[in-house]
Amino acid sequence: MGLGVFDWLMIAAYFAANLAIGVYYARRASGSLREFFLSGRDAPWWLSGTSMVATTFAADTPLAVTGFVAKNGIAGNWLWWSFLMSGMLTVFFYARLWRRAGVMTDVEFAQLRYSGKPAAFLRGFRALYLGVPINCIILGWVNKAMMTVLVTSLGVSQGAALAMLIGILAFTAFYTTLAGLWGILVTDALQFALKMTMVIVLAVFAVQAVGGIDELKSKVVAMDSTSGLSGSRLDFLPPLDSAWMPMITLMTYLCVIWWSTWYPGSEPGGGGYVAQRIFSARNERHGVLATLWFNVAHYALRPWPWILTALAALVLYPELMAGKDRESAYIRMFMDENVFPVHLRGLMIAGFAAAYMSTIATHLNWGASYVINDFYRPFVKREASERHYVIVSQATTVLLMLASIGVYFTLESIAGAWKLLMVTGAGTGTVYLLRWYWWRINAWSEVTAMAVAAAVSIWLQRGGPAWNSDEPREFAYLMLTTVGVTTAAWLIATFATRPEPWETLEKFYALSRPAGPGWRPVAERLPAGEAVVITDSLRQQFINWLLGCTLVYAALFGLGYLLFKEWKEGIVLTVLAAACAFGMSRSLSSREA
């Protein structure tokens, strides 16, 4: 079960490559905050998009998917597949708007769209709230997952694993502070290539260990026939009104959560590190293509190696997959010499380190950008050199690293932290979507949405009905109630308070040029010689959104059918995906002409 000399050499080579990239980009990153946090706004679409995919492929991701498949089959992944519809909104409705805004962070947007003390409060509060506690919760659960990997794969004690974790975390913080976003983008590309290669290799060996695809399918079907589950774990869609996904819960995911709920990496309208990558892109076109590539790779290409390995683990380790520690079965797969070649273990562990480091690096840089650009610079020390702000940003990155270690010790459950963020952000998504397209929304709309969503969700869980978010139906009741109350509250606050000053609205409208009727009162106030030319079309954006969602879901399930040798369904869906891609490409090309 241990690692040999060759394994450690592979791991050392991986770390050396990351360090070399950090050193190479160090001088460029130290020039200004624009370079340190946005790579000089000169990143190509494929690099920005790949970095988004790498960030969302953390050390806990394959483990979580293994747990979904073990408990609820392939269809268990609808818990995150449903967010595709939000991601495609970002591609076609918001990526261009974000790039036009010219801000450094999505939090800075508050003082571009709004004015006065409410806007300043909103910017400063969101900067500290998202940049420190929320960011550290995310870092904490990623640390927790990596600890599981280290303990299980290396067979070391918790203390030894913690020392290793701190070492990897410190190394990541070092090259992140050294190289800024350029270094993160390039190391993300390296890390994504390594970890995707290794999970594909593991999936191939895992299926072979079971006896091939046909044998895998027959054994899973045989297990399901005696398990008492409704449907089969090979089904791509959840059984209607099943115990783990009642109809009301499924409809909540498919019809409500994706547009109404703030969640890191899946923010309605884009935000966080997704927005940061859009800001770093060379122009609007590169921003759109980056987010499009991210959604295609994230939802359609990445999941199947994890799913196949998880299904093989069901057959090889049925007792482990039936227990509470089912997620660790993924690690056991590549540590089992009867499944995975011994001489590839080092590369597999390096792949997990890559998954961990890509997420950690992004969150450290992104969190520091909030703290410095949106709190320290505007409210603490306004007049200083760019070099000063870069140095303070580097120090903040280190402090966030240390804070994330502290949060790790307080987290009892990764799933608990995940659901905490989801329910406290329920109902805020409508504000984030409409603030670009409706002039009447003001700073109090956002403040009210954030405060009411947090208060209502906490009350529904701790007092009142005391709904349990772990129970599917109660989770749906919790989300629907919070979304409804929060939406009503921010609408009341919007009409009960004054709109933003006309001057602020006119400047924002002229800069972002949003399509649709929502800005008509502002457009009518502009002098004839200052009329804003709108180049976007809501109708075409909606068509592209439909094409994009169909493309990804068709590619996702078409690839699945082909892997399971169900050729007819696989070919039909693949052709459908290709047709959608052709339609989108024509639309995007004609717009750029």
Residue 389: C-alpha distances to residues 261, 275, 365, 392 (Å): 33, 21, 13, 5
Per the DSSP assignment, residues forming a β-bridge with 43 are 281
Q: What per-residue confidence (pLDDT) applies to 377?
A: 93
Residue with tokens 């300043």: 120
In total, the chain counts a number of residues equal to 593
One DSSP character per residue, 177-224 reads HHHHHHHHHHHHHHHHHHHHHHHHHHHHHHHHHHTSHHHHHHHHHHHH
User: Whole-angstrom Cα distance, residue 257 to residue 83?
Assistant: 8
pLDDT in 10s for each residue of the chain, 593 residues: 567 788 888 889 999 999 999 999 988 887 788 888 889 899 999 999 999 999 998 888 898 899 889 888 899 899 889 999 999 999 999 999 999 999 999 999 999 999 999 999 999 999 998 888 888 888 887 888 888 888 888 888 889 989 998 999 899 989 888 889 999 999 999 999 999 999 999 999 999 999 999 999 999 998 887 766 667 889 998 887 777 788 898 899 899 999 998 877 788 999 888 999 999 999 999 999 999 999 999 999 999 999 999 999 999 998 888 888 888 899 999 999 999 998 898 889 899 889 899 989 989 999 999 999 999 999 999 888 988 999 999 999 999 988 888 877 776 555 555 566 677 788 899 999 999 999 999 999 999 999 999 899 889 988 888 888 878 899 899 999 999 999 999 999 999 999 999 999 999 999 999 999 999 999 998 887 677 888 889 999 999 999 999 999 999 999 999 999 999 999 999 999 999 999 999 988 876 65
Q: What per-residue confidence (pLDDT) applies to 426?
A: 84
The helix (run of H) or strand (run of E) holding residue 386 is helix 386-410
Residue 540 phi/psi, 5-degree rounding, is -70, -35
- Whether residue 360 contacts residue 172, with contact meaning beta carbons closer than 8 Å, is answered with yes
User: Whole-angstrom Cα distance, residue 578 to residue 97?
Assistant: 27
Q: What per-residue confidence (pLDDT) applies to 271?
A: 87
What residues have CB less than 8 Å from 527, skipping those under 6 apart?
Answer: none
Q: Give Cα 187 distance to the centre of its chain.
A: 18
User: Whole-angstrom Cα distance, residue 495 to residue 522?
Assistant: 17
- What radius of gyration, in Å, describes the C-alpha atoms of the chain? 24
Q: Name the CATH architecture for the domain at 5-413.
A: Up-down Bundle (1.20)
Q: What per-residue confidence (pLDDT) applies to 419?
A: 62
Per the DSSP assignment, residues forming a β-bridge with 426 are 261
Q: What per-residue confidence (pLDDT) applies to 224?
A: 82
User: Whole-angstrom Cα distance, residue 375 to residue 230?
Assistant: 52
Our CA angle for 364, 370, 375, nearest 5°, is: 135
User: Whole-angstrom Cα distance, residue 324 to residue 303?
Assistant: 22
DSSP state, residue 465:
T
